[in-house]
Amino acid sequence: MGIKVAKFGGSSLADAEQFRKVRAIIRADHERRYIVPSAPGKRYPDDHKITDLLYQCYNHVQHKLPFGEIFALISARYLEIIKELELTLDLKPILEQIKNEIAGGASAEFTASRGEYLNGILLAEYLGFDFVDPTTLIFFNHQGQFNAEKTQATISKNLNQHVQAVIPGFYGSTPDGKVRTFSRGGSDITGAIIARGVKADLYENWTDVSGFLMADPRVVKNPKPIKQITYRELRELAYMGASVLHEEAIFPVREAKIPINIKNTNNPDDPGTLIVKDNGNIKFPGTITGIAGRKGFTIIAIEKTLMHSEQGFGRKLLSVIENNDISFEHMPSGIDTISLVIADSQLNNKLEKVLTEIERDCQPDAIEVFHDIALIATVGLGMAYTPGIAAKLFSALAQINVRMIDQGSSEINIIVGVENRDFEEVMRRIYNAFVE
């Protein structure tokens, strides 16, 4: 019998009805042995995510404000699910203990993790599976960095003792026993780590959409679904804003060559999107896999005569960036010019200081700054070594002011920088150019 690890997101476990759907999915395939739940998400647009409410509790305690009303909303949510599912589980003592721990000054990470913890207990009870706390499986070092070696060894050894188990997502533990969380959306990462540790045949990631679409449906009308995508392509799209799957969730399963299947809890028969290893087999030459983009970048364009022959110029420029604790996205260059593309969130009111230091250390002839830039990536292994791809793309962008062009030697993607106001139009033009 094969092994499947199934992770269910917050929308998949938002209420009792969603719990019923999840149980039906798990019971439909006995290979789904290890289940990773998120905390309950929104039931309707104006609803609250449990994790957000828990963070509110923590913030109230930090400011010496009462948080009883907020915690009551959290408790009511879980108790309502228990009641509707007709479970005999008594969660009240556990809820009371967590409330007391938060009131006693529990860390933000511990507090936030309780959403997954409680949902894991509830789901294990509902399924009749073992409950395994991830603090006994997933480890971080003293610096808060994920300890992959220790984690994988522990999972391989310990989870084999459980034929079926529920392991809450999002958190693990440090050497001193404290709870440590991944970044938001980290249950995706937990699922990938568990899949690698048990040597799963497939990692299923269940959410409220039927896999990836070729473009953002809020921008492009009725974009086509992506039936199959490689890890490399997914990495590029996820980085540029395609947010179905946490981008860090790719690495554990990619290394183990475990495919990922993005599935829809509300439409389980839909095939979704299958993410496979990068085997180099290009089935559809000349086609693109997807388009993704983000707004909110700044371009710093630097000009200096004979820059290319000045030894150490690049080092001095990047030292300024490093010394200000800034990372950059792209660095296109010419003979006498070089540009840095930086996310606005990285600059964070540092721009004037950075410009002053570039003037001092690099002594450029000119510096020009372009604000309100959006980056759009056109991605696809089928683009590689296919003549005319770039021509097709830029023909579609006629009359658009393109501020930046970047294409890696792998030819897996072409990134263009345009003004924020042109973002949606450019997305639609590129999609229409390649998709009939």
What CATH number is given to the structural domain containing 155? 3.40.1160.10
How far apart, in whole angstroms, are the C-alpha atoms of residue 433 and residue 398?
12
Amino acid at residue number 284: F
Whether residues 272 and 294 share a domain: the answer is no
Pair 29, 90 in one domain: yes
More confident residue, 35 or 208: 35
- Please tell me whether residues 268 and 302 are part of one structural domain: no
Domain boundary among 246, 276, 306: 276
Q: Does residue 267 sit in the same domain as residue 122?
A: yes
265 within 8 A of 18, measured Cβ to Cβ: yes
pLDDT at 385 over 80: no
Per-residue pLDDT of 132-160, as tens digits, reads: 999 999 999 999 899 999 999 999 999 98
DSSP state of 87: -
DSSP state of 233: H
- What Å distances lie between residue 101 and 53, 57, 61, 76, 413, CA to CA? 15, 11, 11, 18, 49
Q: Are residues 262 and 320 in the same domain?
A: no
Q: Residues 148-200: pLDDT tens digits? A: 999 999 999 999 899 999 999 999 999 999 999 998 888 999 999 999 999 99
> In this structure, what token pair is assigned to residue 44?
């309707």
**Which of 247, 276, 305 finishes a domain?**
276
Length of the chain: 436
Residue 239 and residue 308 in one domain: no
Q: pLDDT above 90 covers what percent of the chain?
A: 74
User: Are residues 185 and 93 part of one domain?
Assistant: yes
Instruction: Give mean pLDDT, residues 12-29.
Output: 98
Same domain, 25 and 128: yes
The two beta strands, 202-207 and 4-8, are parallel
282: in domain: no
In a domain, 285, yes or no: no
> Has residue 101 been placed in a domain?
yes
Give percent of the chain with pLDDT exceeding 70: 95
**Does residue 105 belong to any structural domain of this protein?**
yes
Residue 350 lies in a domain: yes
CATH number at residue 295: 3.30.2130.10
pLDDT at 6: 98
- Quote the domain boundaries for residue 412: 290-434
Same domain, 220 and 297: no
> Residue 283 falls within a domain, yes or no?
no
> Same structural domain for residues 104 and 71?
yes
Task: Indicate the residue among 226, 242, 276 that finishes a domain.
Answer: 276
Task: Judge whether 375 lies within some domain.
Answer: yes
Residue 191 sits in the same domain as residue 248: yes
Average pLDDT rounded to a whole number, residues 315-333: 93
Total domains present in the chain: 2
Residue 284 maps to a domain = no
Answering whether pTM is above 0.85, one says: no
On whether both 259 and 316 belong to a single domain, the answer is no
Per-residue pLDDT at 70 exceeds 90: yes
278 to 104, 198, 255: CA distances (angstroms): 49, 22, 11
pLDDT (tens digit, 9 = 90+) per residue, 262-298? 999 999 999 999 999 876 555 555 578 899 999 999 9
Pairing of strands 130-131, 165-166: parallel
